[in-house]
Amino acid sequence: MTSPVWHPFTQHGLREPIPLVERAEGAVLHTRDGRVVIDAISSWWVTTHGHCHPRIMAAIAEQTQRLDQLIFAGWTHEPAEAVALGLTQIMPESLTRVFFSDSGSTSVEVALKMALGYWAARGEARHRIVVMEHSYHGDTIGAMSVGARGVFNQTYAPLLFDVSAIPYPAAGAEQATLDALEALCREGDIAALILEPLVLGSGGMLFYPAHVLAQMRAICTAHDVLFIADEVMTAWGRTGTLLACEQAGVVPDILCLSKGLTGGSLPLAVTMANEAIFQAHWSDDRAKMFFHSSSYTANPIACAAANANLAIWRDEPVADRIATLAAMQAERLAALGTYCHFDNARQLGTIAALDMRTQEGGGYMNSLAPRLMAFFRERDVLLRPLGNTIYVMPPYCITPDQLTKIHDAIGEAVISF
Ligand X SMILES: *Cc1c(COP(=O)(O)O)cnc(C)c1O
Residue 105 is labelled as binding a ligand: yes
**CB nearer to ligand X: pick between 105 and 402:** 105
Buried b (16+ CB within 10 A) or exposed e, 102-140: bbbbbbbbbbbbbbbbbbbeeeeebebbbbbbbbbbbbe
Residues in the chain: 417
105 is a site residue for ligand X (CB under 6 A): yes
Does 253 engage in binding with ligand X (CB under 6 A)? no
- Among positions 79, 142, 169, 201, the unique one binding ligand X when judged by CB under 6 A: 201
Collapse the DSSP code of 60 into the 3-class scheme (helix H, G, I; strand E, B; otherwise coil) and give the result.
Answer: helix
**Site membership for ligand X, residue 174 (CB under 6 A):** no
Distances (CA, A) of 10 to 7, 18, 256, 311, 365: 6, 10, 26, 36, 12
Contact between 192 and 227 under an 8 Å Cβ cutoff? The reply is yes
CA 118 to chain CA mean position, Å: 25
Count of alpha carbons within 13 angstroms of residue 341, beta-carbon side: 14
Site for ligand X in 228-247 (CB under 6 A): 230, 232-233
User: Considering only 134-142, 183-191, 277-285, 374-382, which stretch makes contact with ligand X by CB under 6 A?
Assistant: 134-142
Applying CB under 6 A, which of residues 39, 174, 196, 253 lies at the interface with ligand X? 196
CB of 386 to ligand X, least distance (A): 11
- Please choose, out of 114-122, 130-138, 351-359, 360-368, the segment that lies near ligand X by the rule CB under 6 A: 130-138
Which residue from 258, 1, 226, 247 is spatially nearest to 114, judged by alpha carbons?
226
Does 53 bind ligand X (CB under 6 A)? Our answer is no
d(Cα 204, Cα 265) in Å, to the nearest integer?
A: 25
Closest distance to ligand X from the beta carbon of 258 (Å) = 5
Neighbours of 89 (CB within 10 A): 10
Stretch that binds ligand X, among 99-107, 110-118, 167-175, 353-361 (CB under 6 A): 99-107
Q: Has 104 been labeled as part of a binding site?
A: yes
Candidates 104, 117, 204, 240; binder of ligand X (CB under 6 A) is 104
**CA separation for the pair 60, 269 (Å, rounded):** 16
Cα 402 to Cα 40: distance, rounded to the nearest angstrom: 9
* Part of the chain binding ligand X (CB under 6 A), chosen from 12-20, 22-30, 62-70, 132-140: 132-140
Binding-site positions read: 44, 104-105, 136, 230, 259, 293-295, 384
Binding-site positions for pyridoxal 5'-phosphate read: 104-105, 230, 294-295
Binding site for ligand X (CB under 6 A): 103-105, 108, 136-138, 196, 201, 230, 232-233, 258
